[in-house]
Amino acid sequence: MTADVESVFRAEYGRAVAVLVRFLGDIDLAEEAVQDAFTVAVRTWPDKGVPPSPAGWIITTARNRAIDRLRREAGRDARHAEAARLYAADPPAEEGPVRDDRLRLIFTCCHPALAVPAQVALTLRLLGGLGTAQIARAFLVPEPTMAQRLVRAKAKIRNAGIPYRVPRDADLPDRLRGVLAVVYLIYNEGYDGDPGLCAEAVRLARLLAELMPDEPEVTGLLALLLLTESRRPARTDADGALVPLPEQDRSRWDRTLIAEGQDLVRRCLRRGRPGPYQIQAAINAVHSDAPSAEATDWGQIRQLYDQLMALAPSPVVALNRAVAVAETEGAEPALALVDALDLDGYHVFHAVHADLLRRLGRTAEALDAYDRALALAPGPAERRYLERRRRELVT
């Protein structure tokens, strides 16, 4: 894929699929048509140049490809008639409480008939244009497992006759858990190197906050994303290596985003209805309050992780809690907690393991853990950081 097409793909794939779903009423057909349009772009843009409105070109080309596909099935009278209707029609008017096409697609896919992991995986595939391997990494499962989940999710939508329509106001809360998970994972996927995905996740979180202002977990998610995004300028060094939070130059943090995020956290606290995203936002607020790494209130962070483990226990939460334990009780009790976790396919697990072993003077084991982390690291920033830490042990 050329650089121009790749840039448009990252920025516009999700919106193009969302617009086509609204126009066609068929997720599979919309996805295939958008993929066809980008294939045409790869062939034609290098010679003819990028059109003045690349996103509009993709959507128009995808619409025409979908209509052509229906017409090729001319033996099926109903499909041919549908193609003729679509060719003459304008996109249907937006209806219902959700007016943003991408947000509409998220709510549409997060149907309660699907398990939440299937909702999230399918929406990441359609909205973010993420490959199966990327989605599998986000869920910490093997790629074949995720491929099967995606196939089953689409089959269930098709076989159960689940309609592709925007839910009513009354249906929104029941779909909220999956929607929040989708937006959060879109942000996480971008955090490893695609600022555009992060910006899109923040945009969607803001729209959600406008749509559902009385849902504290929506406010909590927006606060979490803003506080995390505030550290982006300090997250890598001049060589592109990851700079972990304790080593970051805090003068480079975006104070405007921090102020907005902290204000949202305070709003959540006043409501007294804690949830996982609110607690994670509160943890990030504690970090952003500290003028230096040494001044961080690790005791409060440990208490918040205890609360998070009670509300939404997971191996990743337990790993993060172990980091707080290391700061409050020492490396040895933290290592015992980490050793009990089953996260062998997660590079951060091995990086934390290596750091704790390093602190305890167990150099040979730490080197092995760094090697495991390096083998799993998703991007160059993480690899450069891990390579530096490993070199420090042998020099």
Cβ proximity of 377 and 383 under 8 Å: yes
Cβ proximity of 139 and 78 under 8 Å: no
What is the arithmetic mean of pLDDT over 316-332? 97
Closest CA to 281 of 224, 229, 321: 224
The mean-pLDDT minimum among 115-129, 242-256, 293-307 falls in 115-129
Same fold, 94-180 and 316-395: no
Is the model's pLDDT at 89 over the cut of 90? Answer: no
pLDDT digits (tens, 9 = 90+) for 280-311: 999 999 999 999 999 999 999 999 999 999 99
**% of the chain at pLDDT higher than 70:** 91
Q: Quick one: tokens of 76?
A: 């099926």
Residue in this structure with the two tokens 């955090």, named with its chain if needed: 191
Return the pLDDT at 252. Answer: 96
Model confidence at 85, in pLDDT bands (50, 70, 90)? very low
CATH annotation of 1-92:
1.10.1740
What is the arithmetic mean of pLDDT over 178-188? 89
207 vs 307, higher pLDDT = 307
Average pLDDT, the chain: 87
Query: The domain at 316-395 falls in which architecture?
Result: Alpha Horseshoe (1.25)
**% of the chain at pLDDT higher than 90:** 50
Return the pLDDT at 75. Answer: 56
Long-range pairs, 292-298, Cβ under 8 A, ≥24: 292/250, 293/245, 293/246, 293/247, 296/246, 296/327, 298/324, 298/327, 298/328
* Residues 281, 178, 122, 11, Cα dihedral to 10°: -40
Question: What are the beta bridge partners of residue 242?
Answer: 236
In whole angstroms, what is the distance from residue 274 CA to residue 219 CA?
Answer: 11
Return the pLDDT at 283. Answer: 98
Residue in this structure with the two tokens 């998070």, named with its chain if needed: 308
Is the model's pLDDT at 83 over the cut of 50? Answer: no
Is the model's pLDDT at 378 over the cut of 50? Answer: yes
List C-alpha distances in Å: 337 to 29, 243, 280, 300, 323: 48, 25, 20, 19, 10
Return the pLDDT at 93. Answer: 47
Q: What is the number of H-type helices and E-type strands within the chain?
A: 19, 0
Determine whether domain 94-180 maps to CATH 3.40.50.
no
Residue 224: exposure state from Cβ atoms within 10 A (0-12, 13-18, ≥19):
buried
Return the pLDDT at 73. Answer: 67
> What does the domain layout of the chain look like in residue ranges?
1-92, 94-180, 214-313, 316-395
In whole angstroms, what is the distance from residue 226 CA to residue 254 CA?
Answer: 10
Residue type, 244: P
pLDDT digits (tens, 9 = 90+) for 143-166: 899 888 888 887 887 777 776 665
Q: What is the pTM of this model?
A: 0.80
Is the model's pLDDT at 351 over the cut of 50? Answer: yes
What is the arithmetic mean of pLDDT over 24-51? 88
Question: What are the beta bridge partners of residue 236?
Answer: 242
Q: Quick one: tokens of 109?
A: 């896919």
CB atoms within 10 A of CB 67: 18
In whole angstroms, what is the distance from residue 376 CA to residue 389 CA?
Answer: 16
